[in-house]
A = this chain, B = another copy of it.
Amino acid sequence: MEVELLTIGTELLNGATVNTNAAYLARRLSEAGLPCQRQTSVSDERAPLLGALRESMNRSDLLITTGGLGPTCDDVTMEVIAEVTQRPLVYVPTVAAAIRRFYTRRHRRLQRMALRQAYLPQGAEALPNPLGTAPGMWLSEPGRLFIALPGVPSEMRVIMEQSVLPRLKRLKGQPAIESRTLRTVGLVELSIESILRRIRIPASVQIGLYPNLRMVDIRLTATASSRGAARRALAACLAPLRCALGASMYAEGDEALEGVVGRLLVKRHWTLAVAESCTGGLLSHSLTNVPGSSRYFRGSIVAYENRLKSQQLQVPASLLNRFGAVSAPVAGAMADGARRFANADLGLAITGIAGPSGATASKPVGLVFLGLADGRRAMAQRCQFFGDRSAIKCQATQAALDWLRRHLLTRQ
């Protein structure tokens, strides 16, 4: 099956917007066993859009467009699809009613313009948009399928998840697809590849690796004639893979590392405090991205200056003088200081050299020490990361969260 994406919008063509829609759709389609062969972006002007749509249509069996479904005259995607498929645009009363309800619920007056969005090519089905007024569109013709989605990422995603993916999976003649994502931290791609080589992977299972610095998602997709067979193929390699990954796997599905850490803290009724130096607040920011993190996250100190490390985190001046701020003893003392400072059960600390300056002969850019204290003892870990300032901050944060997670796992 030939699958193509056509993402429409002047903001993509002038670089004002990074095309996250294409990446999201490509990943979800790939997971559904319908990998796309080509992605095209054009502006929302009529002529280039018409040209690109015709070409994509001629090449593909399934074409998904995003963008150009808004209420203004600039939004011409529906018209162009109608023209290419030689269907008139018809008024769909159920869509109009949904648009009216949308305005009523928000206590806003209906803009007449908004009802332009109630016109769809004849024979197309509207896909409900719970977050906005532009419906998605599903248009099935012999031998080909058109799907049009709005360009606003949240609206596009909800229609894809609620209406498009379930239908795609039921398509006649489509093999059954089952997929699963295992999320790992601390293993490089090469190590994961060598683990995968040692496991017997059925030919029906495809594997994709999605790396983000020290974290790699492993996606397994099984394609078979029945759902049962796909599930069995997946199960056959999931069990040994989980076993081989061990504690390096932090989640199955889409839970974030900081969410897993939060869940483990809640389960143990433990609270956490943080001390950061080179990451400058990124660890705290990640922890507090989890809704409800106030249940276990007490707070943190970003001690950029050494005086704060000694005065507020009670890191002994003797340690700072003897070993320097970027050292294992100071990382442990910072973790313990954070714990006492916020009266928390656990303290987690990061100190290091994010660069580009600040390195010495013995302490290169990317050298980071992590500290972890639980009231009985304070531990430290040495890491060496590579990349620019931002990559080093990010890797140090991932490593600190991972250490805390592993520590919590052993304290069942």
Contact = CB atoms under 8 A, between A and B. Distances in A.
Question: Which of A26, A280, A281, A283 has the largest number of chain B CB atoms within 10 A?
Answer: A281
A24 interface: yes
B305 A281 contact: no
A13 B15 CA distance: 19
Nearest to A28: B15
Nearest to A39: B41
B37 A48 contact: yes
Interface residues of A, number: 74
Nearest to A355: B291
A14 B39 contact: no
Contacts of A280: 284-285, 287-289, 293, 297
A300 interface: yes
Nearest to A55: B55
Given A18-B18, A22-B41, A298-B304, A285 B288 contact: no
Interface string A8-24: 00001111111110111
A307 to B, nearest CB: 7
Given A299-B302, A308-B299, A27 B37 contact: no
Contact of A24 (B15, B24, B30): B15
Contact of A291 (B29, B38, B42, B389): B389
Nearest to A48: B37
Given A288-B302, A288-B304, A301-B300, A39 B13 contact: yes
Interface of A: 12-20, 22-30, 35-43, 48, 52, 55, 208-211, 274, 276, 279-289, 291-294, 297-305, 307-308, 312, 341-343, 354-358, 389-390, 393
8 contacts: A12-B23, A12-B39, A16-B210, A55-B55, A280-B289, A289-B393, A293-B304, A299-B302
